[in-house]
């Protein structure tokens, strides 16, 4: 889902950047066209001036002055246009799409990380005693054979997670050591619930009984 969202956002901004590049190229072509038009006028006035200087075209002082004024006017216009294009700052909204892209590229993962981090912290409160949990007594020794299990000895006190945090694995429940350092699955046959330490609206005594009933039903089905 994250990859699909990333590709969709990237393709959208790539399309926007492509359109902006095309508009930039069109603007450059228009400037070149205007500059070439002014250059053609300037060359025409130079040609007229050359004809007047060579006396190939009969005209009076007014014509000569008009030619010079035309040359100066077009030259000043071309120079002013070049200077203006250099001095005028670029469009301040030019970098807005890039800014939006980077805000989304950095902000969305950060918000997702914060949200997931908050959910993880909320789901692990029972390990520190800040949320409702059940206290269980180990009735047998157990040595973990899998990475998601924890080892304990007979007589150890364990904390059992609320029902909403329990995995769907019959015969096992999620628990941790008293200090909350080791968290993992423990076999339900080797522990015994003793008391409820904190209030929890999501995990009640009936829920604990249901956990044991599910585990025993699963075991009976296996034996049958």
38-94 confidence digits (pLDDT tens): 667 777 777 777 777 776 655 544 555 555 566 566 556 555 655 555 544 455 556
Q: How confident is the model at residue 200 (pLDDT cuts 50, 70, 90)?
A: very low
- Residue 132 reports pLDDT greater than 50: yes
Q: What is the pLDDT of residue 222?
A: 42
Q: What is the pLDDT of residue 6?
A: 59
Token pair for 185: 């699955």
Q: Regarding the domain with residue range 126-223, which homologous superfamily does it belong to in the CATH classification?
A: SH3 Domains (2.30.30.40)
Ranges of each domain in the chain: 2-88+98-107, 126-223
How far apart, in Å, are the Cα atoms of 50 and each of 67, 77, 130, 197? 10, 21, 96, 106
How far apart, in Å, are the Cα atoms of 175 and each of 98, 124, 183? 48, 11, 6
Pairing of strands 157-160, 172-177: antiparallel
Beta bridge partners of 176: 159, 183
């Amino acid at each position: 889902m994250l990859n699909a969202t990333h590709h969709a956002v990237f393709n959208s901004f790539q399309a926007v950047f492509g359109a902006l590049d095309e508009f930039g190229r069109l603007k450059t072509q228009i400037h070149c066209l205007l500059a070439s038009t002014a250059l053609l006028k300037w060359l025409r006035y130079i040609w007229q001036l050359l004809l007047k200087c060579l006396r190939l075209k009969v005209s009076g002082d007014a014509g000569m002055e008009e030619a010079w004024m035309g040359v100066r006017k077009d030259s000043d216009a071309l120079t002013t246009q070049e200077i203006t294009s250099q001095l005028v700052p670029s469009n301040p909204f030019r970098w807005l799409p890039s800014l939006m892209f980077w805000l989304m590229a950095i902000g969305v993962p950060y918000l997702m990380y914060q949200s997931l981090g908050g959910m993880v912290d909320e789901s692990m409160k029972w390990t520190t005693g800040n949320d409702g949990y059940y206290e269980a007594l180990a009735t047998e020794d157990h040595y973990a054979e899998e990475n998601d299990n924890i080892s304990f000895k007979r007589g150890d006190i364990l904390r059992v997670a609320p029902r909403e945090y329990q995995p769907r694995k019959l015969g096992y429940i999620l628990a941790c050591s008293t200090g909350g350092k080791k968290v993992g699955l423990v076999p339900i046959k080797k522990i015994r619930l003793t008391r409820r330490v904190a209030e929890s609206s999501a995990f009640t005594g009936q829920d604990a009984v249901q956990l044991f009933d599910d585990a025993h039903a699963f075991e009976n089905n296996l034996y049958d």
